[in-house]
Amino acid sequence: MYSRRPEKAKAAASLSHPNIVAVLDQGWNQGGVPCVFIVMELIEGSTLRDYLHEQGALSVERTLQILTPVASALAAAHKLGIVHRDIKPENILISKEGRIKIADFGLARGALLGSTMTAESSVILGSVSYLSPEQVQRGVADARSDVYSLGIVLFELLTGQKPFQGEDPVQIAIKHVNERVPKPSSINPTLSVDIDNLVLRATDINPDRRPKDCGELASELQIGRAHV
């Protein structure tokens, strides 16, 4: 991965967690276009998007098996003041051995990186189907924005579809701001009230009503696994 900002590489290198793709090296590209490079571990396997295409909607048990380590990894990033900002199935990897890894902290922002981004660039760079309302409206993100995005992924794994559909990205972005994510059980009637409540809390339009970070969300996912 290449970056023109050395602080991005330093922040990525500071993340050490078994469920985050490891940064093995970093430095300056001394030949050609000046930029900072980071060398990341090779994960042999597939993305969660590929897995979804193959499997369709997942069971509650399998969904929580996948997303609990993702939430744990994001919790470690949040403790360092780093927000991923681009959580989506394409950035969640499943190795051939079954290990779950988060990739691509390229949009990450935090105490080490600077905290804001324009709304326009956020919509362009982020994946609109997973953007939190505050990213769409104000171009800002904190740990609760990652909670929201992971809540959207949770909805998609349980139902096999995204909560909001539209003819173009702008329509979808507006829905994130103005509409509540529906109950997953409205699409998959086998899901429990507890699962509905977990998804609705994580994807609340008001960030103050969400879990404060992915550490808190990971605890709620662990409780969910205990009751499956």
* DSSP state at residue 183: P
Residue 176: what are its φ and ψ, rounded to 5°? -60, -35
Q: How far apart are alpha carbons 55 and 221 in whole angstroms?
A: 21
Catalytic residue among 86, 104, 204, 213: 86
Parallel, antiparallel, or unpaired for β 35-40 and 45-47?
A: unpaired
Answer yes or no: 86 catalytic: yes
Closest CA to 69 of 12, 146, 17: 17
- 79's CB contacts (< 8 A; 6+ apart) are 215
Tokens encoding 111? 């105490």
Residues known to be catalytic: 86
